[in-house]
Amino acid sequence: MNISNYDWLEKIYNRINFDKLPHGIIINGPDGIGKQILATHIAQNLLLNKTTKTYNKDLVDSNTHPDLFILNKDKILLKHITYRKTVKKEDWDEQLGDRNINQFLSVTPSVAINKVVIILNAQNMNLASQNAILKSLEEPSPNSFIVFTINRPMSLLKTVYSRCQIISIPSLDEASKDQWLNKNGISDYNSSHFPSFISPLKILEDIQDNQHLNFIDFIQIISDFIENKIDCNFAIKKIGNLNIDLITKTNYLVEFLKIILKSRMLSEELSGLYKKFNASKFNNLKLSNILNDLNDLRSDYFKVPQINETHVLNYFLSELKSSIKI
């Protein structure tokens, strides 16, 4: 995994001052932008071998370095961060056993000059786990570093942010994404086949997983519904058959509305998937209100354990049908 293959990451990496790096680093950016790649290269640089004065790249890449702890969980709980005197059966982790981050950081480095923890998808940390990691940030062990990756800004406690250096990886423009895809042998598809917010590594992943037509299929379903080619129930069924979660469907709807709103406000002609909407009639304010509702839904998605997808889709499709006329 050579960072030179990802020029947008290499530029950020080369600007990092490792001589003045704080104990906590937060890497923020959308899914598929390369946060884990950057975090791994930061860790590799920090894990200079005590004896040979070289970087053990193979150990880092294979996640077998004794002074590197990588945590990658859908839910990051207290048991992953700190030791408890009474270890309950439910606290046992299939991958980690009773190993945890604070315990790992409390031990002197084994072969490297530092110890490094990488917490992937740290936005999945609950409140207890965030408060537990604060101790290691406020009173860091000597020669220790914690690297967080997050896909949503301000998804951690303010006290966590205040003790970390923030490294943001911005989204790439279409030309940069297409150039990178071409370099990696992707010529049948380009960024125009995907929503504008999608990142290059996510495009590559979707193509490899045969999920690259999801966005095109989604927009076609919405178009057919607005044109009265299919009814609401059938549209919901077809959307439900797409292998994407509710937050992705919400993001697709936001993308659709932003594109047709932007074309109207800037008097730009639409093309491709959206060409038929050049002749559509709609009220800008009504579409803006739907966008606000969708943004509220995205916020609730990360707070509410269960959201009824059918009810959500029924509501927004009905709003679209009453707001856009072709």
Q: What's the rounded Cα separation, in Å, for the pair 290 and 275?
A: 21
For residue 21, give the 3-state DSSP assignment: coil
Residue 13, pLDDT score: 97
For residue 147, give the 3-state DSSP assignment: strand
pLDDT beyond 80 at 98: no
Question: What pLDDT, in 10s, does the model give residues 182-224?
Answer: 998 888 888 888 999 899 999 999 998 888 899 999 999 999 9
Question: What pLDDT, in 10s, does the model give residues 131-164?
Answer: 999 989 999 988 999 999 999 888 999 999 999 9
Q: What's this model's pTM, rounded to 2 decimal places?
A: 0.85
Helix (H) or strand (E) holding 241: helix 232-241
% of the chain residues with pLDDT over 90: 69
170 vs 97, higher pLDDT: 170
Residue 95, pLDDT score: 65
Residue 84, pLDDT score: 59
For residue 135, give the 3-state DSSP assignment: helix
- Mean pLDDT across 28-45: 95
| 257, two tokens | 């509305």
Question: What pLDDT, in 10s, does the model give residues 49-85?
Answer: 999 999 988 899 888 999 999 999 999 999 899 865 5
What lies within 8 Å, CB to CB, of 69 at 6+ separation is 99, 101, 104, 105, 115, 116, 117, 118
286 vs 90, higher pLDDT: 286
Residue 228 zone, left/alpha/beta (φ > 0; ψ -120 to 50; rest): left
Residue 88, pLDDT score: 61
